[in-house]
Chain A
Amino acid sequence: MTDFHPQVKQLLDGELTLADLAPELRAEGEEALRLLAAVDREPVTLPGTLGARVLAELRRRAEAPGFWRRLRLRPWTLVPAFAAGAALALLLSPPAPTRAPAAVTVRFVLFAPEAQQVALAGTFNQWDPAATPLVRTGAPGVWTATLTLPAGQHQYAFVVDGARWVADPGAPAVDDGFGRRNSVLSL
């Protein structure tokens, strides 16, 4: 039998003192307190270089083959988009490395809670509204597509339900010459 008596467990929990225990439990209580006395509460200090190592690891991954960049969706930037029902594309990456990559992975995000389907059309897919559909994310109303695009300038728009073309309010836009605004992404 190795289980501690329930009252001894209360002693270990700090709810009773040794003096509260019945005399026949004192020895077991003392054994329990010896156990607690062996707890090592010495602080542990990690090297001050840890921050530099973490950043080095983040940089290493950011410059990994394929130029995959860590993409981040910033929920608070979606708040104005929520009100407008508009779209935004996020290019999220660590600060530029020492040399420019040949390609950059970009996540496009559209907040369109009423939409049944959303696509991306732009210079990178010959403005084909069927070529690059966005998918719903776990967040209600949020659609995303992730593309790896060559460095350079691209124009694009979101196509909602196959008919409504929506420029990205979070990106600069230019007139397409036909009365619409195209968003501009410079990589």
Chain B
Amino acid sequence: MSGREGATDGQVVRAVLAGDTERYAELVTRYRDRYARYAARMLGSADEAEDAVQDAFVRAYDQLAQCRDPDKFVGWFFLILRNRCFAERRRSKDVAPLEAAGAVAAPERPEVPVEMAERRRALQHALLELTPEQREVFVLKHVEGLSYGEIAERLGTSVPSLKMRMHRAYDRLREQLRDRAP
């Protein structure tokens, strides 16, 4: 194993801060996909997720010296991406209503039956009608498969408050899906 391939996040971060900017690509390669699905579900499309992840990596570079524990770069990066996703949804909501924008991308997947694809699209559309906080807890639990305890640790909040948020999300999703039902 080469030294670079085996370098820890902390070693790469320190090298970048010491001026070896090119090594930042190692962190991008290592983590570009880890939260891509989270971003895609938060924002409604893989294209928007790609923009958000790219932007988050640039922002993380800008703020790299503020990463208190370089060995925990990825957790810190997640919070930057999260802020980016929240800001983007609020901004786009202000600019263009989802209905008008037709914002929910539904990639064609031949292996997914049409009916299931339609239900997925409806749910994703309903998810985008939630607040970002509600959507996030739903995505982290039901898409990423994290437990309430893991989510609470990652977001620095409590399990009861997450449950309250999630339960409101369930009710709103039900309402949205009923409204959209033919």
* A interface, CB within 8 angstroms of B: 2-4, 6, 9, 12-13, 31-32, 34-48, 50-55, 57-59, 62, 70, 72-76, 92-95
Contacts and interface: CB of A to CB of B under 8 A. Distances in A.
Contacts of A12: 170
B178 interface: yes
Contacts of B85: none
Contacts of A92: 17, 19
Given A38-B119, A50-B32, A44 B58 contact: no
A118 B174 CA distance: 61
Given A38-B119, A39-B143, A50 B20 contact: no
Nearest to B38: A44
A41 B143 contact: yes
A54 B61 contact: yes
B122 interface: yes
Nearest to B22: A55
B73 interface: no
A51 B120 contact: no
A183 to B, nearest CB: 19
B interface residue count range (under 10 / 10 to 19 / 20 to 34 / 35 or more): 35 or more
Interface of B: 14, 17-22, 24-26, 28-29, 32-33, 36-37, 39-41, 46, 49-50, 53-54, 57-58, 61-62, 64-65, 68, 109, 116, 119-120, 122-124, 141-143, 145, 148, 163, 166-167, 170-171, 173-175, 177-178
Contact of A46 (B17, B33, B163): B33
A81 to B, nearest CB: 15
5 A-B pairs with least C-beta separation: A51-B28, A51-B25, A38-B119, A94-B21, A44-B36
Contacts of B148: 13
A94 B62 CA distance: 12
Contacts of B124: 40
A45 B171 CA distance: 31
Contacts of A42: 37, 109
Contacts of B62: 70
B28 A95 contact: no
Contacts of A6: 167
A1 to B, nearest CB: 10
B50 A58 contact: no
